[in-house]
Structure formats: C-alpha cells, structure tokens
Chains A and B, each alone.
Chain A
Amino acid sequence: MIKKILLLVEVVILVFLVPYVSFAAGSFFEGKTIRIVVGFTPGGGFDTYSRALARHMGKYIPGNPYIIVENMPGAGSMIAANYVYKMAKPDSLTIGNVQGSIILDQVLGRKGIEYDVRKFEYVGIPVRQFLVVIFSKASGITSAEKWMASKTPVKIGTISGSSMTAFAKMLQRLTDLPVQPVEGYKGTYNVRLAVESGEVAGGVFGGRNTAFWSRALETGDMVAVMSTLPYPNNPNVPLINKFVKTEKDLQLFKTSNIDPDILAHLYLLPPGTPKEIVKIIREAFDKTMMDEEFLNEAKKANLEIGPINGEGVTKMVAELFKTPPSLVNELQEYYK
C-alpha cells in the first residue's frame, strides 16, 4: 500500500516537475517548429523581415527549434492579429507579425477587431518605420520652402486606406502647406510610377522603403522634402514638427502616424503565453538583432535594423491608449 502511494507521489511529482525541468533545460522547443504568422503576402517588406528573422533566431532559443514563416494576409493584417489573439491554446509556438496600425484601429474603434492590443505579449520591433514625402525634380518642388510657396495645391499620391492617406489629409487641413491628396494607389510601386510619370508631383512613402530611388535621390531627380522622423539619407530634411501649429495638432500626428509607424513591424505572442516563454522569445529576438550574420544579410537586402525590445513596445502601446477622447474623435475624421 505504502509502495503504491509512494509510486503515485513520484508520478505526480514527475508530471508536474517535468515541464518546469524542461523549461529550465530548454528542451521544450527541441524538435519543435515555431511559426511566424505574417499578416501580409509573401515577397513584401513584412515577409522579408520575418524570413530573415526566421533564418537566424532559432539558434538563440534553447532547443534550436526550426522556424518557418506562414502568410495569412488580409484586412491590413487584422485577420492575422485576430487569429493570433484567439488561439485557443497558446501553444508557445506561434509568433504573430502584424502591422502597428492595428493598434490605431483599436483606438479608433474600427469594426472587425477581435483582439485587445493591450493583452498581447510583445516581442519587439526590428526597425522604426516613419514617413517621408518625396517629390520629383520635374515637379519643381525641391524643398519645403518651394512647397509652401506653391500657388496651387500640390498633388501628393498615397496608398488607399493607409495611414499615409490620413497623413496627407492632415497636412492639408492642419498645416499651411498646399496639398491635394490623390489616393487610390494600391501600393508603393504604383505611387512611385505615378510620381515618375508626372501624374502626381510627389508621394508619401515609408522612410525605410525608398531603396528603389536610392540613385535618383543621390542625383537629385527625386527630392525628400519632409519626414516624420529624421531621414537617415539626408539629415537636412525638415521634420513635420516644423509645420505643425499647435501642440494638439502635433499630438494628432503622433497618435496617427509617428507612433504607429514606429511600431509598424510588430512581433507579438498570444495573450496568456507563459512568462518564461515570453522571456525566452524576447531574449532570442534581442540577440538576433545584434547577430552578425543576421545584420549582414539584412544589409545586403536593404533591411534597416534599429530595434525596440518587447518592454519598450508594451510601453508605447499603453501610451497610445492614453490619447484623450476628443483627439480620437478628431482623428476619426481623417480615417473616413
């Protein structure tokens, strides 16, 4: 009888201890596959960062799991965000890669949201995205002064439904710059062609995604005229702050574009993921961001790296939710 009880106790101890033991020993991930669920189609910026990450992060996770990338595009990565959020059993093997705009979507109360961004466990971001307004030399707008001095509204192309469109509209209404937003372009490439063909004078672009014009920017055929964060290629480009008239307006820009853009490439874990796992993944992410091979590959592929870690991201997300309701209401006008 005693033997049986002892046996039972041993079994119970083992059953409860083994998971902890394996965490400690790191064999939880051994032989497993982690998948990064990317909210966009393959071949795009998000996908490329994730695939680079997948190739190098595994070695920093105890057990060296294999990491693959899955694409789950749709609704500006909202579908992927919903999916990762609702994972019935956080299996600790899924990392979501979604766009920072999903935070803004929740702040603005958009339909279709099934997540609460404050409950995600954030892993980090690899780079701070921002916006830059670039004009063609042919348009004649080669500086902010020339822009301000233009007698007619200047046509600026933007991607439909994106924060870039909201940005252009906000420029039009909140600054003295003469702006005529032209939206309807499906992607960066279409805006680019429109600028080159003269259909529009300039466009709003992701500051880290202008490699296609690197030569044109050097020769001056294309000119960056304003940005939301300092533009690495040209520190003389004025910031949006220079053109904003009130603190409140600046806060609008900050909530709508500056902060969500910084968080553009979000990596996150489902709510309820065990603390130890979150810690392991965060550390692996941070280490990968400093890994030499990863950085080399990123450089070759024109992927800039300037990370913020998981805790930093969590703080920024919380900040965004402190936006006063009056500001939120005003913002909604630009996202109509």
Chain B
Amino acid sequence: MIETTQALIAGLSQIFAWSTFSMMLLGTLIGFWVGILPGLGGPAALALMLPFTITMSAYDTFAFLLSMTATGSVAGDITSILFGVPGESTTVAIILDGHAMAKKGEAGRALGAALMSSLVGAIFAAFFLAVAIPVVRPVILSFTSPEFLALAFLGITFVASLSGGALLKGMIAAGIGLLLSTVGLCEMSGLQRYTFDQLFLWDGIGLIPIAIGLFAVPETIDMAVHGSSIAQEEDGDLGGVMQGVKDTFIHFWLVMRCAAIATFCSLLPGLGGTTSQWLAYAHAVQSSPNKERFGKGAVEGVLGPGSASNSLLGGHLVTTLAFGVPSGIMMAIIMGAFMMHGIALGPDMLLPTAKGGHLTLTYSFVWVIIVSNIITVGICFFFLKQIAKITEVRASLLISPIIVLVFLGAFAEKSAIEDVFLVLLFGGLGWLMVQFNWPRPPLILGLVLGTVAEDRLFISIQAYGGFGWLTRPIFLGILLLTLIGAFYPAFQAAREKRKKRETGNSASSASPRTDSDKKKFLTFGWATIFSLFIVGVLGYALWESRNFDFRTGLFPWAIGFPVLALAIIQLIMDLMGKKSGTSMDSMAEGYSGITKDVIHRRTTGAFGWILVLCLAIWLVGFVIAVPLYMFFHLKMGERKEGWLPTFILTTASWALVYGFFGRLMHLRFPEGVLLKWW
C-alpha cells in the first residue's frame, strides 16, 4: 500500500521533470495534428515517431508516445464533428450526431460535449489503469475463442439494431460488411477470396479507405449541394461550448458507462476502438427515452462515442503492460518502444522500482494520460469558438482541402494508390446508401468484426471438438445479451406502433416521414434498382465462392445465403412500394429551397471533381495532381473564388503534399502513369 502510494507520487513528480513534460507537450501537439488529419492515424504517426525516441529516456519516450495517442482521438473527434470526415478510425460513430449538430449550427455545443466527455473518459481510463492491472488477468484469461465469437456477434447485432425502422437494410448492410471482411487470402487454406489477382487485396480491404469513403464522400457532396456552409442553420450562439460541457455532467453516468464499455472492449485483443465506439453509441441510443432524436443531433450521440474513443488507452495499456500482449496495432508499436528500451512487459511492471520493477513508470503513464488530456482539452477550449467558426466558412473553400486530405489520408495508411480508388468506390456506395436510406454503421462493423468472428469460429471448432463450445456459460450469457439487444428495440417499436394505432393516429406506415421529403431528385424506381444491385452483388459473391472448399467457404456461405435471402425480401418490398422507416444514419433534412436542377448539377459536379482528382493522381501523381486540382476547382468550380484564396490554398496544398508528407514523413508517392512513360 505504501509502495503504491509512493509510486503514485513518484510517477506524478516524474512527469513534471522538465524533459518529460516538454516531451509530453510535444506529443500532445503532434498527436493533435495527426488526429485532425483524416485517415492518417495513430499507428502511422507512432511508427514514424518511434525512431526519434531512441535517444530519449524511458519516461520521456512514453510521455511522448502516450500523450500523442491520447490526444489523437480528441482531435479526431473535432474533424469528425466539423466535417463529417473521420479523423481517426475510432471517431466515426461520433459523426452521426456530432456532424448533424454542426449542420444545425450547434458545432460549439458538440465540440464542448466531445471534449469534455473525452476528458472524463480519459480520467476513467487512467484510474482503471491504476487499479486494474493486478486483478484483470483472470478476466482476460476467461475470454477464450467462443466468447470472442459471441462478442463479435453482439457487436454486429447491436449496431444493426440501431437501424431502427430500416432494420432489414441494416442487417443486409452488416452482412455485406461481413462478406467484405472475407476478401483476401484465406490463411487457413491459402485460397484467395475475391482478390481478382490483385496482390494489394491479399490482406483484405482496409478499414480506413472504406470508412473514409462511406462517410466523408457523401458528407462532402452534401456540402457541395447545399452550397452555403457546413452550418446550415444559424444558431447564433456559438458559445454553446459551455452547454456542451454542461451536457457532459447532465449525462454523467452515460459518459461513465460508455467509458466502461470502451475500456472493456480494449482489454481484449482484437476488439478495440472501432467496435467500442459503436457499442457506446448503441448504448446511448438504447438508454435514451427518445430514440428518434438520434442521427439528427442528439448530444448523447456525441457524449457516448466521445467518451469511448478516449478511454481505450486504459484497457489497451492494461493488457499490454500486464501481459505483454498488444491489444491492437498501436500497442504493438508501443511495445516495440518498450523493447528498444530494454523493458520486458509483464508482472515486472507492477513491481516497485526498489525491487527491480517498473511500478513508478506504470503510474507515470496514468498521470501522462490524465495530464496530457487536460492540456489538450484546456487548449482546445480556448480556441473552440474559432474552431467552430469553420462551420461558417463557405463550402466552396472547404471542399477541395477536405477532399485532398481525404485522399491523402487513405493513401498514407499503406502507401497504396489502390486505396485512393477504394475511397472513390466506397464513396459512391456510401452516397447511394444515404440516398436510399441504407444505414452505413452496420457495414463498418461487419467489416471490422468479420475477421474476428471467422477466426474464432474456426478455432472454437478445432479446440473444442465440433460444437461443444456452444454450451459454455459466458458464451451463452453474451448470446442472451445479444438476442435481447437485437430484438428489444424491434419489440419496443412494435409496441409503440400498436399504441399509436390504438390512439387513432392516422397511419404513416412505419416511417415518421414519407419518402417524398427524401426523394430529392430521384424517382421511385432508383431505390428498387439499388436493391437489385445489392442482390446482384451478393449473388455474384456467392457464385464466385462455388469453388471454395469447406474451410474457405464456410463463413462466406453462412453469411452469404441468409443475407441474400434478406436482400431479396428487401427488393420485393421496394417493388411493392413499401417504404421502410428511417435509420439513425439518414442525413439531415432534405434540400429545402434548392431546386431539383441545382441539386442535380451540384451533385454531378461534386462527383465529377472528385473523379478528376482521382484520375489526376493516377496520371501524374499526388505532388502535381493536388495543387492542380485545388487551383482548377477553386477557380472553375461552382463558385469561382478570388485569386488570393486560390493562390494560398494551392500553395499550401503543394507544401503539404510535397513538403510534409513527401519529405518529412518519407511517404513514397507513386509516380503517375503518364510520367512513367517519359
């Protein structure tokens, strides 16, 4: 006990040593910018910074790396809220309500809520780290493969259930995500699944290009169509920041519960950040009395994921420190740092320094998390009003930089030009999904959890002989939770419908609003065609799998056939003119005040420009394509900008691509097909 307190205090004083503190500040600064840039994530930045930490002491290194990680997600929340572009892969869920709030002019409030809940989440994580290491081992060890499998299904079903009125579409989307996760080399059989001979697809489709494409592209096009600015309503009081802070404390227990969910998820290897943000969001929805507010700017939809994304470090560090088992890529990188400093992870991390352990170091981590978050959040609060003002800048100035950053971020992850095309592809898909009211979150979750599910399914079968594992207690418990979570909302919705009918409210079928508001410039037929397209894709996937052997095909078949059946049902419903309810993921109100022609023109224009940039990158490489694109888009786009902003933005974009990414980060840009011929 005394040793613990001593170590706690020693840890605290350690971080205020000048070198350590300045490293923490530096890490905070870098982490902030990494988080803000979409796609460019924690792992990439950590890996890049690793070499620089060799000459630093252990305390300084970890202060630097941890503060970088800790502040990354806070900054990512900002990008997600303001632009609807995922700043980090762990800050996607917050887009649904956070960006909706920004569009309503409540950006300040959303940011305040996100920051404050992040801070609370971080403190929770820090305390968890401080107390949990000794006790967590048996917990982790009791989660074997069947339990992981159950958790994967829990995650997917919860999120599909978020689809509310569009449950069928949500389940199909989840199924598509699961099938997408099978793309790549099936390691157990050495067979390629859906890779079309592209080596780049061997390890599967990356999460980042899909998340960016699905969410960022439709949002940006939406911005282009509206033409005004992100904030489409004047809320007047940007000082809503303080309101956001208050909201955090009004919903304090929600914030704590979401932090707990995230911490728990991050304890288990493989489940981490992407899953927990959606579980937190789902929980926020489920625990609210008025679920219809979600997706349109409910502050709880910001508080949940905000808190979750920042408490991940707690669980991650506990598993990594206590076990030496990295629970995610970032932890693997941090472990590399430990190795370089000659520190072996494991029980030694809990031994007081006097006995040859690293307890003080461990507790210094606790303090780093708390202090760096306080610093980030503190600084952000000063500038929040200014930051929020971006939502008032006219869209035409913002769109090109956002698109550029989107493509850069997608490319930077694996230095693969194909990721740029993937963004284009999934951007198109995402836009279509929004138009036809298909929820996107289940697709992402299916993608992320599919691999976990499949691997664990096979291990379970091998290790527990056939299907004996189906009777394990924890497994059954989680399954029960899943079923409740999945069917309860549908059950509730049915009950409410019955109530409405009983009180004589006139029928509005299942949807609170008819589709005519959401039709924009599309006719009824398009929705059916899209469903047909989905059926076609699923059918093709199953056809392609006809040559798979049992091991390779089990998962695709187990998912593919039921989902195809659901898709056909959906198609029939569309043909019969039955409209589904709205999901959380529908974008805000329709385009009031803009004529169909204008919508048409602006949408085609927006797509066209994105296509042009893609093509340019392919033909002449990033370094030339980006400034050219900026220049022409600003000058010839929907709204012609003046020379000064054009010049500034073009030069800045060139500096970013060439100077920052090219030279500083050693990103290798492919030459561009045309240039190779020279």
Contact = CB atoms under 8 A, between A and B. Distances in A.
Interface string A211-253: 1101100000000000000000000000000000000000000
B141 to A, nearest CB: 4
A26 interface: no
Interface in A72-122: 72-75, 78-79, 82, 110-112
Contacts of B189: 336
A165 B437 CA distance: 45
Interface in A54-80: 54-55, 68-75, 78-79
Contacts, number: 151
A68 B666 contact: yes
B432 interface: no
Given A161-B190, A193-B141, A199 B346 contact: no
Contact of A194 (B54, B142, B145, B329): B145
Contacts of B459: 157, 182-185, 194, 199
A70 B415 CA distance: 10
**Chain A interface: which size bin?**
35 or more
B339 A73 contact: no
A215 B347 contact: yes
A336 B187 CA distance: 9
A271 interface: no
A42 interface: yes
A74 B458 contact: no
A139 interface: no
Nearest to A214: B344
Given A181-B462, A212-B345, A215-B347, A197 B141 contact: yes
A75 B199 contact: yes
A63 to B, nearest CB: 20
A2 to B, nearest CB: 39
Contact of A70 (B339, B456, B666): B666
A43 B142 contact: no
A300 interface: yes
B274 to A, nearest CB: 16
A200 B463 contact: yes
B335 interface: yes
Interface residues of B, number: 54
A253 to B, nearest CB: 19
Nearest to B142: A197
A51 B50 contact: yes
Contacts of A112: 199, 202
A73 B47 contact: no
Contacts of B491: none
Interface string B433-470: 00000000000000000000001101100110000000
A102 to B, nearest CB: 13
Contact of A82 (B188, B199, B332, B333): B199
A74 B202 contact: yes
B386 interface: no
A93 B418 CA distance: 25
A206 to B, nearest CB: 14
Nearest to A296: B342
Given A48-B340, A199-B459, A189 B326 contact: yes
A196 B141 contact: yes
Contacts of A212: 323-325, 344-346
B346 A215 contact: yes
B188 A184 contact: yes
Contacts of A71: 47
A70 B463 contact: no
A71 B416 CA distance: 12
Given A182-B459, A184-B458, A43 B190 contact: no
Contacts of A78: 199, 202
B185 interface: yes
Main secondary structure of the interface of A (DSSP, over half): mixed
Contacts of B270: 186, 190
Contact of B414 (A73, A297, A303): A73
A41 interface: yes
A44 interface: yes
A160 B192 contact: no
A133 to B, nearest CB: 16
B473 interface: no
Nearest to A35: B666
A71 B203 CA distance: 15
Given A41-B329, A70-B666, A190-B269, A51 B340 contact: yes
A55 B340 CA distance: 12
Contacts of B81: none
A75 B186 CA distance: 11
A161 B340 contact: no
Interface in A147-182: 155, 157, 160-162, 180-182
Given A196-B141, A199-B145, A44 B463 contact: no
A208 interface: no
A291 B55 CA distance: 18
Contact of B51 (A35, A51, A82): A51
Residue from the set B347, B456, B459 with the largest chain A CB neighbour count within 10 Å: B459
Nearest to A302: B339
A192 interface: yes
Given A43-B47, A78-B199, A161-B185, A189 B269 contact: yes
A111 B192 contact: yes
Interface in B115-155: 140-145
A43 B145 contact: no
Given A79-B199, A336-B189, A182 B144 contact: no
Contacts of A51: 50-51, 340
Contacts of A74: 199-200, 202-203, 414
B332 A72 contact: no
B456 A184 contact: yes
Contacts of A215: 346-347
A301 B462 CA distance: 35
Contacts of A186: 270, 455
A111 to B, nearest CB: 7
Contact of B188 (A69, A111, A161): A161
Contacts of B337: 43
Nearest to A303: B339
Interface string B32-45: 00000000000100
Contacts of B46: 42
B324 A43 contact: no
Contacts of A321: none
B433 to A, nearest CB: 28
B334 interface: yes
Nearest to A162: B187
A301 B340 contact: yes
A75 B455 contact: no
Interface string B241-271: 0000000000000000000000000000110
Given A41-B43, A70-B666, A215-B346, 9 more contacts: A42-B333, A43-B329, A43-B333, A43-B335, A74-B203, A160-B455, A184-B145, A189-B326, A300-B342
Please give me the 4 A-B residue pairs with the lowest Cβ-Cβ distance, nearest first.
A161-B187, A300-B342, A42-B47, A43-B336
Interface of B: 43, 46-47, 50-51, 54, 140-145, 185, 187-190, 192, 197, 199-200, 202-203, 269-270, 323-326, 329, 332-337, 339-342, 344-347, 414-415, 455-456, 458-459, 462-463, 666, 668
30 contacts: A42-B50, A48-B336, A52-B340, A54-B51, A68-B51, A69-B51, A73-B203, A74-B200, A74-B202, A75-B202, A75-B203, A79-B202, A110-B190, A161-B187, A161-B190, A162-B187, A182-B459, A186-B270, A190-B270, A193-B323, A194-B145, A197-B140, A197-B142, A198-B141, A212-B344, A300-B340, A300-B341, A301-B339, A303-B339, A336-B189
